[in-house]
Structure 1
Amino acid sequence: PLLLISSLNLHAVMFLEIGLFIASVALLYVYLLSYYKFWDRTCVPVLRPKYPFFGNSFDALFSLKDISSIQKDVYDSFPNERFVGLFTFTKPNLFVRDPAMIEQVTIKDFAFISDRGNADDPRATPLSMHLINTRDDHWRSLRNKLTPTFTSGKLKGMHGQLLDCADSLVEHMKTIESAETFEARDLMACFTTDVIASCAFGLNIDTLTDRNSLFRAFGKATFNFSPTRKIFRTIRRLLGPLARFISLPGGIKPKLIEFFIKAVDDTVEYRKKNGVVRQDFLHLMNELVEKEREMVSNGQMDPNDPHMFDHATLVSNAFVFFVAGFETTATTISYALYELALNQQIQEDLHKEIVTVSAKHNGKLTFEAFQDMKYLDQVISETLRLYPPVPALTRKVTKDYRVPHTDVVLPAGSFMTLPIVALQLDPALFPDPLTFNPDRFSEEKGQTIVKGSYMPFGSGPRICIGARFAKLEIQVALAKIILKYNIMKCDKTQVPLTRCKASFMNVPDKGIWLKIKPRTTAAA
């Protein structure tokens, strides 16, 4: 009898534990569902989440579809709405379709929606204290300090370095003249890595020749996307400051972080020891560090000021200039070459302009010459319309915000999505949107583009700080290449291109394969 009673008690405990588990799951389910009632209390049309907790993020998180397609599906499903209610996990996310509203929230109402919605904790790693991750007053202080880096005078001073790197690129391209094909994105990534190393750090690393350089390895590691890495990166963002204390896979290896910091520190030390002065990004940032150290020693600045431009801020922003400057620019150059290969007449018109304008500048591709290349600018603008580097802007609501012309109030901590790709492929805004047509951006037609519908570099105060530098880099690369080579499609050229599902960026899934043919009348 005692054994029977003991057995019954064991079963009772087991059933009790199972019951408690089921009840806990049910309560959690009901609790999560309560979050998803937010839009039901408003006039906002809503796209119902597939699963609790994940909200509308499931397909993106698990790389079931690329982010551009996800954004466009939402956009196209509500053709008559100004906005749509979504959920980023359990947080409300207002998906904005109306260009006029986008213009308002990114500029006029910026104070309410000033933070990036996809930022990491600024102290998560030794390279996290940069413009993309900082918030509120810290971001404003940092942005004001770094803005002088990209003045017209500074860009003009770097023009010679850009030309040198582009000359090395076309010289290297001699090695693939007889090849049946080459992968454009990898080649352009080597070029842009060399540009950033030269213009930001004053280093001549020649990645075009040495594909195994640590700088190239560092760049590849930063953008080596996989479905698993995407999940862990999202978890780190959800954890916020807690991520500092939890080791998760998928980040940049400590060895590569140490390499990058050492490369920056060694360059600063060498310049200091040898009296070397170069007007580049690193010089300006080091001047900020020295200036604020002096202010602290003179009692003009609190040594504990959280906005101080210290060593961590210097190396972090050197890092973000490097990664933002090489990957997105390389991809844009590659997309431009792809479209020029498919549209030979546009390529010939561009070649003619480059030859004509350079002739007016004594056969040189001067800084001023590029200001006169209007068609080149149109080609780049149209490339960025079809292939914006980032599929959408995500903003975090920092103060309760009343949606314009409604009674809907978005609480602080909720999100707003501005769908760049979907807007720029909307036939109502850009007729025949899948056709590559640089004339959309002619002086006359460009004036008719609806404000808030075209923003490949972002919009408002948070617009990409390096946009003008990136555009100049793209101009120089395309001009040098098109002067010397005819770009053509080959048997491996994918038409149309498919996008990578595992990437947060708008990148091709299988590379961009092209071939080249030397022009008989190459110029400058």
Structure 2
Amino acid sequence: MWLQIVLFVLVTFLIYKLLFSSKKDYWKKYGIREIDTSHVVSTLDVFIRGKNLALADKYAYDVMGGDKFCGTREMGIPRLILKDLDLIKKIMIKDFDYFTDRRNFFDDPNSALKKMLPSLEGDEWKGVRSAVSPTFTTGKIRRMMEIFNSVGEEWIAELKKRAKAKGGSIEIDVAEVVNGFTVEVIGSSVFGMKTGTIQNPNSVFAEMAAKIVAMGKWKVVKFTLSLVFPGLFKIFRIPLMDMGAMNFFQGILEQGLKERLSGRMKGDKNDFLQLLVEAKKGELKTAGNDELSEFEKDAQLKTGAGEEFDKKQYLTDEVMIAQSLVFFFAGFGTTSNLIVLTMYSLAVHQDVQDKLRREVGTIVKKNGSLDYDDLGKLVYMDMVLNEVLRMFPAAARLERKCVKDYKDPVTGFFAPKGSFVCIPIEAIHSDKRYFANADKFDPEHFSQENKAGRNPYAFLPFGTGPRNCIGMRFALVESKAAIAYLVHNFRMEPTEKTPIPMQTKHAVLQVLPPDDLGLKLIPLNIK
């Protein structure tokens, strides 16, 4: 394995030197201004020092000045960076047919990773997206609120037990505690099973989940290399993910799917796998109010005349298992990070924590549980979570691949077929034209007044358009439930292991909390 990695690095370096190092002024032939970012983040910086690729985006964004877009090269690959929000809207929504695909990380056609929604392209992506979308509507997530409550109550009871054993309060490793909650939620809501992770952070289920989302040094190197030479990963058959963990979860899903399709599994199930089975059988019924937000309206696929997508054709067993695995690849780490970073922000800003606690107290039921619709009424909760997502976006950049030559008649923007268009999320979210106190944690950025005066495309934590994050609603409800349970039952305070200000780290284009982040939890006397 190590020999493969060494050979791979040597070959990719030679190809890079031979094919890309001499490509100067690539965008000049298209009449597009090119900004050199190599002195900000070089290839060596990325591979050896693990430097943040988003730094190059921020540099280009600032140097652009009043320009609406520019061209750059990243590790030899030509790309376009957008700054104008109206142009971003066109690319992501209005003219989406030119930008339907994402960068392909997983090029092994025999891997379940290739069948995950973020990896699919063209008509196959459209078909699977159309088939899967109904499982994420309001009514379907409402069906899972029982799971969020059950896991939340178990989680809080365990934390109180630990605090009592320690004499009244506990200092926690925040990531470990939060992962216990999120892994248990995924176990119940996707696999339909209890994982025991809350009581035992070292359970097999938790261990395998951690292996999938872990971003160690070599994994970062491999992901970075895959950005440049995805085809070589197929030739050398070097996996990006821990295949032992992949096989573990895939085996559980295959058995669960087999039992559901055969009818051997009895009783009502509200988990995601059951929803997929119902979708395949044409039995997925509207449950509750499935109203669409503006975010979801922008995401709707516009089909052409006579264009229909057969759910039975696209929802194969392999595809259904792959979409369930997406919860780990795209949902587990990002949701855990959002909860961790929110806890940190509340601990450091006690006034915000107190205000949120008062709001949450108005909707908690006498038995301590939460109602789905009441969670949606927490205005200040939305403000707090949005501010966390603004300062610490899960993805520092969005990318779309141009599938056919595109020319915008208004701005003159041109994207040749095969080029990558980048939306620098981290740079936009820190632009003081849109967020007055961009360098500070300030939930008031998302007051009704401030939101009304701001272009909605200045805040894109879940992307936008048909290729946005399909699990956005699930992730937010899960996060709101976790934070509501915490602030209602505990006061969160900093410890010596709480860096102030926050020192986030980056892994390729992910924004992650620091390692070993610690907080103190002090139980409240809630009656």
Matched, 1:263 2:252: yes
Structure 2 residue identity aligned to 1:99: L
Matched, 1:221 2:184: no
Give 1:393's aligned residue: 398
Number of residues of Structure 1 aligned to a counterpart in Structure 2: 483
- Mapped to 2, the partners of 1:357 and 1:256 lie a distance apart of 39
Matched, 1:312 2:318: yes
Question: Secondary structure of the equivalent of 1:452?
Answer: helix
- Mapped to 2, the partners of 1:33 and 1:68 lie a distance apart of 21
Distance 1:38 1:481, change over 3 A: same
Deviation at 1:109, TM superposition (A): 1.3
Tell me, yes or no, if the aligned pair for 2:41 and 2:55 is still in contact at 8 Å: no
Distance 1:364 1:198, change over 3 A: closer
Matched, 1:282 2:273: yes
Give the 5 Å matches for 1:25-424. Answer: 32=20, 35-48=23-36, 50=38, 59-121=45-107, 123=109, 125-177=111-163, 178=166, 181-236=171-226, 238-240=228-230, 243-248=233-238, 250-253=240-243, 255-271=244-260, 272-288=263-279, 308-358=314-364, 364-403=369-408, 405-424=410-429
Distance 1:34 1:208, change over 3 A: same
Structure 2 residue identity aligned to 1:161: I
Structure 2 residue identity aligned to 1:341: A
Residues 440-475 of structure 1 show CA distances to partners (whole Å, capped at 9, x for unaligned) of: 212222212223210000111111111011110111
- Mapped to 1, the partners of 2:180 and 2:483 lie a distance apart of 15
- Mapped to 2, the partners of 1:259 and 1:121 lie a distance apart of 21
Give the 5 Å matches for 1:469-484. Answer: 469-484=474-489
Tell me, yes or no, if the aligned pair for 2:99 and 2:402 is still in contact at 8 Å: yes
Distance 1:363 1:192, change over 3 A: closer
Question: Secondary structure of the equivalent of 2:73?
Answer: strand
Give 1:457's aligned residue: 462
Tell me, yes or no, if the aligned pair for 1:193 and 1:216 is still in contact at 8 Å: yes
Deviation at 1:125, TM superposition (A): 1.9
Residues 278-318 of structure 1 show CA distances to partners (whole Å, capped at 9, x for unaligned) of: 132101223455679xxxxxxxxxxx999632222121111
Deviation at 1:324, TM superposition (A): 2.1
- Mapped to 1, the partners of 2:507 and 2:394 lie a distance apart of 15
Give 1:11's aligned residue: none
Question: Secondary structure of the equivalent of 2:495?
Answer: coil
Deviation at 1:415, TM superposition (A): 0.6
- Mapped to 1, the partners of 2:390 and 2:37 lie a distance apart of 29
Residues 400-423 of structure 1 show CA distances to partners (whole Å, capped at 9, x for unaligned) of: 111453445321111111011111
User: Alpha carbon RMSD of aligned pairs, Å?
Assistant: 3.0
Tell me, yes or no, if the aligned pair for 2:50 and 2:220 is still in contact at 8 Å: no
Residues 327-354 of structure 1 show CA distances to partners (whole Å, capped at 9, x for unaligned) of: 1111001111111111111111111111
Normalising to structure 2: TM-score of the pair? 0.84
Distance 1:328 1:79, change over 3 A: same
- Mapped to 1, the partners of 2:384 and 2:156 lie a distance apart of 20
Residues 100-155 of structure 1 show CA distances to partners (whole Å, capped at 9, x for unaligned) of: 21112111111111111254226252333110000111111110000111111111
Structure 2's unaligned 5+ residue stretches are 1-12, 284-309
- Mapped to 2, the partners of 1:514 and 1:28 lie a distance apart of 45
Structure 2 residue identity aligned to 1:420: I
Deviation at 1:239, TM superposition (A): 4.5
Distance 1:88 1:288, change over 3 A: farther
Tell me, yes or no, if the aligned pair for 2:233 and 2:239 is still in contact at 8 Å: no
Structure 2 residue identity aligned to 1:357: I
Distance 1:184 1:94, change over 3 A: same
- Mapped to 2, the partners of 1:328 and 1:55 lie a distance apart of 25
Structure 1 residue identity aligned to 2:276: M
Distance 1:369 1:172, change over 3 A: same
Matched, 1:447 2:452: yes
Out of 436, 442, 461, the residue aligned to residue 431 of structure 1 is 436
- Mapped to 1, the partners of 2:325 and 2:415 lie a distance apart of 34
Residues 359-410 of structure 1 show CA distances to partners (whole Å, capped at 9, x for unaligned) of: 6x99752112112211111111111111111111011111111145344532
Structure 1 residue identity aligned to 2:221: I
Give 1:296's aligned residue: none
Structure 1 residue identity aligned to 2:205: F
Tell me, yes or no, if the aligned pair for 1:91 and 1:413 is still in contact at 8 Å: no
Distance 1:248 1:28, change over 3 A: closer
**Percent of counterpart pairs with the same letter?**
27
- Mapped to 1, the partners of 2:432 and 2:485 lie a distance apart of 33
Deviation at 1:64, TM superposition (A): 3.7
Deviation at 1:237, TM superposition (A): 5.2
Deviation at 1:438, TM superposition (A): 1.4
Out of 491, 502, 506, the residue aligned to residue 486 of structure 1 is 491
Distance 1:46 1:174, change over 3 A: same
Deviation at 1:27, TM superposition (A): 12
Distance 1:33 1:61, change over 3 A: closer
Out of 512, 518, 521, the residue aligned to residue 516 of structure 1 is 521
Question: Secondary structure of the equivalent of 1:506?
Answer: strand
Structure 2 residue identity aligned to 1:48: D
Deviation at 1:252, TM superposition (A): 1.3
Give 1:297's aligned residue: none
Deviates more, 1:237-246 or 1:422-431: 237-246
Give 1:504's aligned residue: 509
Give 2:298's aligned residue: none
Structure 2 residue identity aligned to 1:40: K
Question: Secondary structure of the equivalent of 1:517?
Answer: strand
Distance 1:375 1:55, change over 3 A: closer
Tell me, yes or no, if the aligned pair for 1:66 and 1:499 is still in contact at 8 Å: no
Tell me, yes or no, if the aligned pair for 1:56 and 1:86 is still in contact at 8 Å: no
Structure 2 residue identity aligned to 1:252: D
Deviates more, 1:159-168 or 1:56-65: 56-65
